[in-house]
Amino acid sequence: MSSFKYRTILFLIILPISLYISFGSIFSDYFSEVPEYIRPKRLNLGLDLQGGASIMLEGDTEKYKNSIINQKLSNLWISIEKDALEISKNILDDGSIAISFRVEDNDLLIKKFKELDSIFDYSFSLNTALITVDKSKVAKLIENVVKRSVEIVRHRVDSKGTKEIEVQQKGESGILIQVPGAKDPSEVKGLVGKTAKLSFHKVVRIARFDETEIGFDEDCLILDWDKSKKVIFKKRPLMTGEELENAFVSINEIGIPIVNFELNKFGAKRFAEISSKNIGNSIAIVLDNKVLNIPVIRESITGGSGSISGNFDMKKANELALLLKAGALPMQLNVVEERTVGPGLGTYSIEHGVISAKMSCAIITLIMILFYRFFGFIAVIGLFFNLTLLISVFSIFGITLTLPGIAGIVLTTGMAVDANVLIYERIKEELRNGTSYIKAIESGYKSAIITITDSNVTTVISSIILYIFSYGPVRGFSICLIVGIVCSMITAVFLTKFFIEFFYSFLQRRTN
């Protein structure tokens, strides 16, 4: 079968599908009776085009600061107790801690203080030491943790960067989330409201839910599990989810969704050590003070991966996988404000933006037909299918369209026509040299394809860089540009050639 026949079959499959998806995504109301599994997804519009919900979060920086200070000091006290050093602590009115110790322990204590986190300052005087918190260093720590929280929230609510959800820092510890088209922001609040701190603990014992007197040591915690049992486990985790690198959902052998996780190199090594030392013991997998599962370690786990089951449905399993993959929030975020917002650019700006896009397409159509007649008409058909293919890609992958995105579409439309101009000028040149129509068409496309590919590849590379280092409307513009260039290459180079070849082969058959 010739390449022309292959292309004919390919386009006869692609074009009707793209027409169906693009029209279905724009005029979704007319497709309400279509079965859901074949119904096109509605085209997502950005906050600037349709409005949406606005959620304001505030980080509990005071609680985070206290927990970090207590954690670092707790590690110091444990280290001192381990070496059986005799000290006495006295907390002063300004929050600093005075420590008295034996003179002979001076050098060892200095060494331990040097290992203490940099947010502390310390000074020695004979057999006493004074530990104080450096406020400037704590402020820098808070600044970094808020920035990290912004990135985690952004990854949770828009992991692929295609939904145009705006996430930005406001003030010292505020995070503003704007969700296009959302009438009820509860789902987003559910994602960002969970700290998602995963930890693995050694189980001491499992008690019945109705037991009234459960004795356990100070270094243990107790949580409910499975509505009929209580779990007593060691407070200090064997391992946390910080070493988790990836998480995804799969279906086990009995058809129940489970969450698989993969650890980084350090985490895999640590997990292997923990599992080898706890063969026959139970390990509690805890997420935000809720026991997910209590597996029994049967053998050493050296692969750096595992799974979490907990009678999840698919939605909860996907949500858990997303939370684990995005990472735990370093501090608690509280919702302080939520409201519905209108289109950010206003109806006037939106209408004129759409009008400008329509006008540009109309002017391009007129110029192409005026200058290139039949070839120009074919270019306009290619342009139409370019737009339908682009909208289809937006619908399939859930990419959000914004006003900067419309600008990107207009730009790629111009670039698609520019590719046709290069091809047609080359064809006209070949015809002036006395070449036959079929050979001129073949030569025109063959000669121009190198130049078109070079210019498009460089634009795609710059758009990818723009996508990586940008957020919000700028990222939306870059996505539209990348998708538009790929679609324009398909339509301007291959589709128009297919139509022209089809037309001239039809003429040849009629003449013969």
pLDDT tier, 197 (very low <50, low <70, confident <90, very high otherwise): confident
* Cα–Cα separations (whole angstroms), residue 167 to 193, 337, 473: 14, 15, 12
Q: Which residues pair with 57 in a beta bridge?
A: 175, 335
Q: Averaged over 5-14, what is the pLDDT? A: 76
State the first-to-last Cα distance of the chain, in angstroms, to the nearest integer: 22
- Which residue, 86, 79, 90, 68, is CA-closest to 112? 79
Share of residues in the chain with pLDDT > 90 (%)? 0
Measured distance CA(406)–CA(232) in Å, rounded: 57
pLDDT tens digits along 375-399: 888 888 888 888 888 888 888 887 7
In this predicted structure, the answer to whether residue 345 has a pLDDT above a threshold of 60 is no
Average confidence score pLDDT of the chain? 78
Residue with tokens 């180079």: 493
Measured distance CA(322)–CA(331) in Å, rounded: 18
| 362, 409, 179, 27 alpha-carbon torsion, rounded to 10° | 50
In this predicted structure, the answer to whether residue 193 has a pLDDT above a threshold of 70 is no
Please tell me the predicted confidence (pLDDT) of residue 275: 85
Dihedral sign from CA coordinates of 368, 374, 375, 377: positive
In this predicted structure, the answer to whether residue 2 has a pLDDT above a threshold of 70 is no
DSSP 8-state assignment for residue 27: S
Instruction: Give the list of residues 6+ apart from residue 474 with CB closer than 8 angstroms, or none.
Output: 404, 466
pLDDT tens digits along 89-126: 777 666 677 877 776 677 777 777 766 656 777 777 77
Mapped onto helix, strand or coil, the DSSP state of residue 230 is strand
Q: Averaged over 40-44, what is the pLDDT? A: 79
Measured distance CA(390)–CA(66) in Å, rounded: 51
Phi and psi, residue 33, nearest 5°: -85, -10
Q: Which amino acid is at 107?
A: D
Please tell me the predicted confidence (pLDDT) of residue 427: 82
The 3 state secondary structure assigned to 379-412 is HHHHHHHHHHHHHHHHHHHCCEECHHHHHHHHHH
Q: Are strands 244-251 and 239-240 parallel, antiparallel or unpaired?
A: unpaired
Mapped onto helix, strand or coil, the DSSP state of residue 123 is strand
Q: Averaged over 336-341, what is the pLDDT? A: 76
Strand positions, DSSP E, 190-256: 198-208, 220-225, 229-234, 239-240, 244-251
Please tell me the predicted confidence (pLDDT) of residue 265: 82
pLDDT tens digits along 248-299: 888 877 778 888 888 888 888 888 888 888 888 888 888 877 888 888 888 8
Q: Domains for the chain: give ranges and CATH numbers.
A: 3-50+347-511 (1.20.1640.10), 53-59+155-338 (3.30.1360.200), 62-138 (no CATH)
Q: What is the largest CA-CA distance in the chain?
A: 111
Residue with tokens 């502390």: 120
Dihedral sign from CA coordinates of 154, 156, 162, 163: negative
Contact at 8 Å (CB) between 383 and 491?
yes
Please tell me the predicted confidence (pLDDT) of residue 460: 87
Residue with tokens 């969450």: 259
Judge if pTM exceeds 0.85. no
Structure-model confidence comparison of residues 468 and 183, the more confident one: 468
Q: Which amino acid is at 33?
A: E
Please tell me the predicted confidence (pLDDT) of residue 1: 44
Residue with tokens 């005075």: 98
Q: Averaged over 30-53, what is the pLDDT? A: 76
